[in-house]
Amino acid sequence: MDIKTAKRWFNWHKWTSLICTLFLLMLCITGLPLIFHQELDKVLEKQVVAEIPQGAKPLPLDSLAIVASAQYPGNHIRYIFWDNEDKNKVTFDLAPKPDAPPEKSRYATLNVYTGAVLNKPTTDGIMDIILKIHINMFLGIGGKLFLGLMGILFVIAIITGIVLYGRIMKKYDFGIVRKYKSKRLQWLDTHNLLGIVSLAWASVVGLTGIINAMSDVVLFMWQQGQLKEMVAPYAHQQPLQGKLASIDSAMVVAQAAAPHMEPRIITYPGTMFSSKHHYAVFMRGNTALTSRLLTPALVDAQTGRLTDIRRMPWYVNTLFLSEPLHFGDYGGIPLKIIWALFDLATIIILITGLYLWFERRSATRSQWNRLEKIAATHE
């Protein structure tokens, strides 16, 4: 590589890194507790364990829905979802109307066997606030897409860093830190070493972060594609009137259509994940991988009959798989610890990168000052 080409790669690395550094620092700092969000939720929110009385059987969902609705008069159930960690809990999402924004949601978590209300938080906890900062900085879809752009710059910085590191290491042993040189060179070598060691992790987290930032776009594509096809026969029908079909019967129909799967989420008619005429029962598999993937079964909310069931398209499944991978949520505590260590290493990389930039600017200013003094002396 000639000097001109190397300088071009260096400039790409420098400016893509500088533009996204402060935002990446924020993402790494907020991402650290989110890696252990399940463990911290149990401590911070003091979650109640759903106890099962001896000989008890699960209560009908219709009965539980009545209990949940009584917690928030004037609100209507939009979603029902089961706890990933405790299958004895079920949570109801209620809001004034089906298409209300997420911040209008109220939650009631019930014991599946007793109907007891375990908790009904009405405000965001500390982990919810950290998650919102990490996802969109409280700026909605605009903030989410902006952070996705920062993720793209981060990936470009990684690629250019690999190219530059390969050129530098031709002269030295791999992983060398020149402790006998200046402080700036020691930090440069440390920056480069941590960068190349965490290369695979940073690439995975960067790419999955970009995919997660596109979640609203993916949802819109699914709504306008597969979901629109599934509800096409109902496009010109009149709005639902009268009493809706039993939730329990809708779940039985969905389980019969997908016998080797279990329900994860049920959405009511009129929500963004269904139509105005259907319950959507999202089924999941029972293995570590398939439990992350959802299969929607649409059940007519008036007749209780199955309308359609399909596997999600590839781009939705990519999103489903990238979110847990982004937070290291696949291999239990050992993988989370590894994720946390790489997160800390990336924080050091970002800080040393800023330090090196400021030091380089300071050194450049000093050189210009010396040249000006020399020129003034000769005059």
Q: What is the pLDDT of residues 182-241, one digit of tens each?
A: 777 787 878 888 888 888 999 999 999 999 999 999 999 999 999 999 999 998 888 787
Distance from CA of residue 280 to its chain's centroid? 22
In a domain, 295, yes or no: no
Percent of the chain exceeding pLDDT 70 equals 89
Instruction: State the amino acid at position 108 in one-letter form.
Output: A
In a domain, 255, yes or no: no
Tell me the range of 52-61, 237-246, 264-273, 361-370 where mean pLDDT is highest: 264-273
Instruction: Report the domain count for the chain.
Output: 2
pLDDT bracket for residue 63 (50, 70, 90): very high
Q: What is the DSSP string of 136-174?
A: HTTSHHHHHHHHHHHHHHHHHHHHHHHHHHHHHTTSS-T
pLDDT bracket for residue 28 (50, 70, 90): very high
User: Using CA atoms, how far apart are residues 247 and 253, in angstroms rounded to an integer?
Assistant: 10
Cβ-contact 299, 253 below 8 angstroms = yes
In a domain, 76, yes or no: yes
DSSP H or E segment with residue 360: helix 332-378
**Tell me, what's the pLDDT at 365?**
59
Distance from CA of residue 73 to its chain's centroid? 32
In a domain, 317, yes or no: no
The whole-chain average pLDDT of the chain stands at 86
Q: How much is the CA Rg of the chain, to the nearest whole Å? A: 27
Query: E strands along the chain, which residues?
Result: 76-82, 89-95, 106-111, 117-119, 262-267, 278-284, 294-300, 306-309
Residues 120, 144, single domain; the answer is no
Residues 12, 151, single domain; the answer is yes
Residues 204, 67, single domain; the answer is no
**Tell me, what's the pLDDT at 91?**
92
Cβ-contact 327, 131 below 8 angstroms = no
Residues 75, 199, single domain; the answer is no
In a domain, 350, yes or no: yes
Domain boundary among 124, 158, 178: 124
Range of the domain at 108: 46-124
